Amino acid sequence: MKHLKNRLQSGETLIGCWLNLGSSVTAEIVGLSGFDWVLIDLEHGAGEPKDLLHQLQALEHTRSTAIVRVESYQKERIHRVLDLGAEGVMCPRIYSAAEARLAVSGMHYPPLGIRGVAKMVRATGFGKDFASYKSGTAENLLGIIQIETKEALDELDEIATTPGVDVLFIGPADLTVALGIDGDLNHPLFLEAVDRIVKAAKNASKAVGILIFDPADFEKYRRQGIQLIACGSDATFVAAGARELHQTLSQFKNSPS
C-alpha cells in the first residue's frame, strides 16, 4: 500500500491524471513521471478489464497510487478491481445516497460491507498478507464518489456523511451537461455547485477531487480546498506530443531548402 488515503487525510494536495489507453507501457511511463496517483479508467477508457492486471503490475514499482474507475457501483465490479490490487475505487454516475452506500459497501468485508472474501488474490500477496490486508482496508482503501448528476447534488450532505465515502469527486463534463450549461466551467450554476460540494465535504470531514482541463486552474481549485486534482491523460499526452512534433517537422518540410 502507498497510503494515499493517509496523505489525503493529513491535508496534502495530491496531483494525478487519467490512464485511458489500456496500456501497461503508458501506465508505467506516467507512473515513473512522479504523479501522486493515477486513475485507470474502465468507464470510458480504451482498455478492457483484462488489461487492468498488467497496468497495476506496471505501476507497482512507481510512486503513483493506482485508483480504478469502474463502470458502475455493482459490487462484482468493485470486488474484482480490488482483488487485483487497486488502492481506490471511483464510482461514476451516482444518483443518490443509497447508490453511494452500495458502492462503498462493496469495498469492505463484513461487517463494514459486503465484499466477498478471497484470500488467493494479488491484493493479499496471494494469501501471504491476507490478515494485514483485511484489517487495513478501512484505513487504506479510498472510496471515491463522483458528483456529476443533479440528483446527487440534491443529496450531497447524505452522500458526504456516508461511512466509506472518502472523496466527493467533481466530474465537470457530466455535471455541466446535467445543469444544462454544457462545458461552461465559469457559469454561476457550476460555480455554485462546486461551492456546495466543497462545503458538504468539509462539514463531513471528507475530501474533494476534480478533473481539470487547464493546468492554470490548479491554484484556483486548491484555494477552494480541493485536494485530489487530476489533469490530462496518457492519451492526451501522446496526442499532444504527436501533434506538436508533426507541426514542427511540417514547418521544416515546408521551409525553403
Catalytic (active-site) positions: 44
Alpha carbon distance 33, 56 (integer Å):
16
CB 176 within 8 A of CB 147: no
Looking at residue 198, its amino acid is V
Quick one: CA dihedral 69, 184, 188, 212, positive or negative?
positive
Cα separation, 68 vs 92, in Å, equals: 11
Angle of helix 97-105 versus helix 75-83 axis, rounded to 10: 40
Place of cell 440534491: 154
Give CA–CA dist 69/40, Å, rounded: 6
> Under DSSP, is residue 256 helix (H, G, I), strand (E, B) or coil?
coil
The single-letter code of the amino acid at 108 is: H
Place of cell 503513483: 64
Integer Cα distance of 187 and 67 in angstroms: 30
